Structure 1
Amino acid sequence: MPMNRQQVEQHIQWKLQAGNCSFWWDNWLGIGPLAQFTTNSNSFNNSTVADFWEEGKWSWSKMIRQVPASQFSNILTTEIFPQQHIPDRALARIDSIEHTFKSGQFAAKVWSYFAGSAGLHSDHSSLQLLLQQWWTTKSKNAAHKLLLQATPIFICWKLWKNRCACKYGGKATNIIRVKYAVYKDNFKMLNSAFPHLQWPAKWTDLIQKSEKCVHEIKVNMVKWLKPANQWLKVNTDGSALMNLGRLGAGGILRDKHGKLVMAFTTPLGEGTNNKAEIEAAIFGLTWALELGYRNIILELDSQLLVHWILKKAVPRWSIITQLGRLQQLIAQVHNFKCTHVFREANCVADALS
């Protein structure tokens, strides 16, 4: 890994959140480390990006003393949305990776990094052809696109795995074993994603089959519907900044005319997104009962929670207590319905959460 560090880091860019990545040595600007643009000794310190922020904005006074003038405009035009509780993330630069694939360097690089060290020689042209076929083939079909995205990962993994097995006393690496392992993983992936299709037993047939697949497009009209006479509709939603993370709940109660009865938004502390969804439903039903309604429709955009409420799925043990509280509220309702709705029709509750 240290040997390939330089080649890998050029394809990485940091997404700024807390600003805890290195100001000088991490590629957060998209042009490489800032240290390469200056000879100033300040570039050898441990400054983070957040050290150059003041009240959520770039600090002129700090930058003018240390930052190379050639990069002033690049930094100032970089938007920041400071979130102290979320660390910066290293992301793959898609533009860089796509250029590598499209330029035809992918097969050569994979072969030189993995195949050589795995004991496979350049005369094994069938696997090289497999690599080249990946980046030269173009398709918009869902199955074929999935195949093309996963194949290079499977190839790299199997080459590396076989190399390690051989090194530590396992079976000797050979081209047949690697090719079979790559096909097997692709077959399993496609069979899992598209179980209604019959996948062939040959690699070339597998590609041809996937090329013939056409993505099925289904259009549904999504809109919020008023409840029937004497009914109240409760739309709720829960949100989590991360899973685990800070939680919030929101909801809206509307009558048969679609008029607002009440709306709510409340913080829920920390936990999982499932906890947020359940607590939001509990909050909404509690208020509906307090206001005297006994014919209630609970509408949610969480299909999983709907299945739990209707007992079509078994919940995790960690949320059984919460669901028990929700079922106790439902038992107080004379007529109750729980339905799933797409998020577009639940946008008010979603925004409030």
Structure 2
Amino acid sequence: MGLSGFGIGSRSDRGVAQGSFFCFSSDPDTLVWLRDPSGVFSTRSAYQLVRPTRACSWAFSFFWQSSIPRKLSFFMWRLVNGQLPMDDVLKKFQIHGPSKCHCCVLAQLETMEHVFSTGQLATETWAFFEYSLGLSASAATVRSRCVTWWLFPVKGKALRWLMRTLPILILWFLWRARNISRFEGRKIAGSQVRALIIHEMRMLIRGHFSSIMVPCQWEDLLEALAVVRRALTATAVRWAFPPTGCFKLNTDSCATGRGSGGGGVIRDSCGRLIVAFADSFGCVDSLQAEARALLLGLQLGRQVGVSRLIVESDCLVLINCVRREWGVPAGIRPIVRAIRLGVPSSHQFCHCYREGNTVADSLAAYGAMSGTRVVFTKGSQLPTRTKGLLALDL
């Protein structure tokens, strides 16, 4: 087929070692930090190395969220871990004194469960919001109340977010009411607490769902959130013809039980096949297989005399690494260096969706299954499935 020199060890690929993907250039050697995929040392990865690892808490995931103010997240962490300075907690540190809940008409001992769940103010506040949402909670503890809210089935993204956030706001304003009553001597009625909770919820909704109007009344607010649906847009994705005078290279990789493979195809501005290839790479990860397939496609393009080439791959990480937009992971650094050395300025690297890369995908699967390298210069030589996909792109 006139392509017997196609491969890593061809003479046209100066600086690339025979039978390998390592490129020996004038770049100085650098240290590689194996604890980070980029190979660059970071304090975060070092911290993950030395800190004692524990299982992630399911409950913590509900209040450590970007949509919840950090002060509320830290408050919930202290509440769940029993770190709030309440009378029953202070007794554990041998700090004894008269204990009285200032939020209730009748004198009661101040405990965490009383202030946040079973007390008069807490019961009224929880009952109001639970009734409006159709939730019947007979829970007696703070944890069980929160779990009941978080697991309550509702439809719609906005209402699910509300069921996650509202219990945190209720607990936060119950805590504020307790502090104002105890340290400022001012009683806060249940209606005031509910109004503060609704006002804060409206502020959070405006920041999280900027596309909806936020009513003032609680019932109207629930109705507005109930009709919020995620906007779905459909976009037709297919292979696009390159401009006149240009060629397009599509590459992809595939992983099977036998190992990894790669494939690619070069076509002209009319969609005609110039050359295609499929190869087996053995036991390598998907990113290395993507990089090897791209390098082989570029080498093949040079051998057939393609000058202006648009390179497409559905691997966004690889494309951004080649374009120097992202840091290069240590595992593909030699391959990316070899790609950059042999790329003329006329080449363009673009990311594409998998639906527009079906021909290269089928060739990669063929290479992984065949276990050898195959080069195709005619459409009649292609595997049957690849022929059909090539015809569908026209």
TM-score (norm 1): 0.44
Larger Rg: 2
